[in-house]
Structure 1
Amino acid sequence: MGGESRYPLVPVGEILRSDPSNGFSPKEVAEWTGLLSLGLGCLTKSGFLPRQLKRVPDSSYARRFLLSDGDLLLSRANTRELVGLVGIYRDVGNPCIYPDLMMRLIPNDIVCLPSYLELVLGSATVRRELQAGARGTSESMVKISASLVQSLRVPLPSIAEQRKIVNAHAVVEQRIAALDQVRAKLRVIQRGVVEGLLGGRDYLP
């Protein structure tokens, strides 16, 4: 991670419990099997969103890739703009696996909180490093290697500092969401005023 940091810079590989692991991509089926798989679209610039869930055949092999609430996922293949998106999986109500185009990262929570690592990996600086290091014959599909992720050097404050950073970020996100709601309401009012003026209605009190 480029630039100066008040915290020590540590390779991601040193704060993971194990090497990043790719998922499994069985063929989607129409019938309900009791097992779901995430689509690549579940990792967004805003984090994890369960907006693309697929029905897949259930098997003992597929269940090796079952997700647990709180697992940290990173998209290892996509367009250069979207590759490397990161998010923390949240339970979707049914057993769910992750696809081969994602990798699961399991930080050692004694030294690094998953929520903190999500913030760092989603930062503009690290995103640029991931995009620059992705490889492929076409810009429409580039891939990130596990070794690239493990080599990333990220700032690692104490667990207490990590919690403060995560909590501060959550407060800012809540404020942004509240302002977005206000902006959406104002846009509705604006459209109503414009339509009223065009229709000859008087909107003055």
Structure 2
Amino acid sequence: MGSEVWLEAPLKSRLLRIEGGRSPDLPDTPAAAGGWGVLKVSAVHRSGFRPGENKEVSDVALVDERYEVQAGDLLISRSNTPELVGSACIATSSSSRLLLSDKTLRLVVDQELADARFVNFSLSGPALRSQIENAASGSSRSMQNISQLSIERLMLPWPPIAEQRRIVGVLDAVSVEEDSIGASIAKIHAVRQGILLSSMPLDAQAVPLEGWVRFPLKVVVPSTDYGISEALVSDPQGMPVLRMNNIRDGRVDADELRYCPTSVPDRLVLRHGDVLFNRTNSIEHVGKAAMWKDDLPKATFASYLVRLNPDLRQITPEYLVEWLQHPLIRQRVKAISTVAVQQVNVNPTRLRDLEIDLPISLDEQRRIVSSLAACDDRIRCEEEELAKLRQLKTGLADDLLAGRPVGAGRS
């Protein structure tokens, strides 16, 4: 069906009402199963409903069941960052009883005229996102708001209700495949975690396994290096510099680089096998580590990172990275961290005082790492497939929601 026969009308024309809740002052602790919680703005996301993003309501006097969220509700956030304000999703069931806040709205759709799922897909499309971003306001660019009146005035093309449901069916079929790949990735992550915990049992109270040794990390990491502290530039002048955001869980992300316009000492140029440790960041990201694998022809690293120099006769760089990413070691790293101006810091000297358990045999270290790398390869393949599917879904949604024949060129 062509878009020329679709009526364009404001969202209000297809709504019975818009409902909003309240936001009492509550601690940032999620509700236990069966308990009451108030939704945070982060619960409403274009990727789907996030029921765990809520604040527990322990005082029943604050509970107004009129604002309880039901599975199938169409929700929209009226306050968030510029990229996320106006995000919409369909609520799913939850183990907690969740309430709307004053920043999460429920759009009650007239079911004779519109399908809530069609409205949800439309609100994530480029045409509506552009309208939402233009209508949003706020004194801070980091937090924007969109009024209920502006939401009501959003203009959508409205196909007949039967066509809306057909479009939803097509997009839902892609979403099912998307969810399947996501579940597969989560399962491989769980398998990897199981391999890591069983292959590297790091119980500080137990005697090391036969063929393993335990001593301070500084025995196998005799020295460390801080990165450069020079002012960096965005233009690709000089040598690429890795920073905090380039260190992911066990890997280097060579995107969003900055550059050092001055000369860099040869000793600070990265070599294959260098282990980089994120010594300062937020509590979630401090302690992340990765091995440099010549991802670029030449690069160096910023002073936010520290390079650990392992004794290759005793430990492989790959094993060192896996040890640093082990959940128990991440906890120990956080325990020795200090906080300064909302930034968490780890002193490399204190890090090197932590005890490490490792197999004496380098071949055994390599075997453990190889098992984990096999999981990483599978995860990477699944993530690539998921990215392709999402790109296909975006193009498909753009065509369907604009009434274009699927695959038609866009002007």
Gaps of 5+ in 1: none
The separation in 1 between residues aligned to 2:26 and 2:84, in whole angstroms, is 23
Residue of structure 2 equivalent to 1:43: 44
Bigger Cα displacement from structure 2, 175-184 vs 133-142: 175-184
Opposite residue 42 of structure 2, the aligned amino acid is G
> After TM superposition, where is structure 1 displaced by more than 6 Å over at least 4 residues in a row?
30-33, 181-185
| Residue 120 of structure 2 is aligned to residue 118 of structure 1 | yes
TM-superposed CA distance for 1:120, in Å, is 0.8
TM-superposed CA distance for 1:138, in Å, is 0.6
Gaps of 5+ in 2: 193-250, 252-292, 294-317, 319-362, 375-411
Q: 2:111 aligns with which of 109, 112, 116?
A: 109
Alignment of 1:1-205 (within 5 A): 6-18=5-17, 20-29=18-27, 34-56=35-57, 57-59=59-61, 62-178=64-180
TM-superposed CA distance for 1:94, in Å, is 3.3
For the 8 Å contact 2:15–2:109, the answer to whether it is kept is yes
Q: Provide Cα deviations, 1:112-147, integer angstroms capped at 9, x if missing partner.
A: 111111111111210121011101111111110111
The separation in 2 between residues aligned to 1:24 and 1:5, in whole angstroms, is 42
Opposite residue 10 of structure 1, the aligned amino acid is A
- Name the structure, 1 or 2, with higher relative contact order (CA <8 Å, separation 6+): 1
Distance 1:168 1:64, change over 3 A: same
1:106 match: secondary structure: strand
TM-superposed CA distance for 1:17, in Å, is 0.5
The separation in 2 between residues aligned to 1:112 and 1:15, in whole angstroms, is 6
2:24 match: secondary structure: coil
Question: Number of residue pairs matched?
Answer: 191
Opposite residue 164 of structure 2, the aligned amino acid is Q
Opposite residue 170 of structure 2, the aligned amino acid is A
Residue of structure 1 equivalent to 2:273: none
TM-superposed CA distance for 1:178, in Å, is 4.6
Q: Provide Cα deviations, 1:144-172, integer angstroms capped at 9, x if missing partner.
A: 01111111111111221111100100112
The separation in 2 between residues aligned to 1:181 and 1:96, in whole angstroms, is 25
1:54 match: secondary structure: strand
For the 8 Å contact 1:24–1:62, the answer to whether it is kept is no
Q: Provide Cα deviations, 1:154-201, integer angstroms capped at 9, x if missing partner.
A: 11112211111001001122334455677897xx9xx9xx979xx599
Distance 1:173 1:59, change over 3 A: same
RMSD: 3.1
Opposite residue 38 of structure 1, the aligned amino acid is L
Q: Provide Cα deviations, 1:4-63, integer angstroms capped at 9, x if missing partner.
A: 655211110111012x23221122256869321212111122121223122113237632
Residue of structure 1 equivalent to 2:400: none
Bigger Cα displacement from structure 2, 155-164 vs 20-29: 20-29
For the 8 Å contact 2:24–2:62, the answer to whether it is kept is no
Opposite residue 13 of structure 2, the aligned amino acid is E
The separation in 1 between residues aligned to 2:182 and 2:49, in whole angstroms, is 19
TM-superposed CA distance for 1:79, in Å, is 1.1
Higher Cα Rg, which structure: 2
Distance 1:10 1:59, change over 3 A: same
Sequence identity of aligned pairs in percent? 28
Distance 1:90 1:174, change over 3 A: closer
TM-score with structure 2 setting the length: 0.42
TM-superposed CA distance for 1:70, in Å, is 1.2
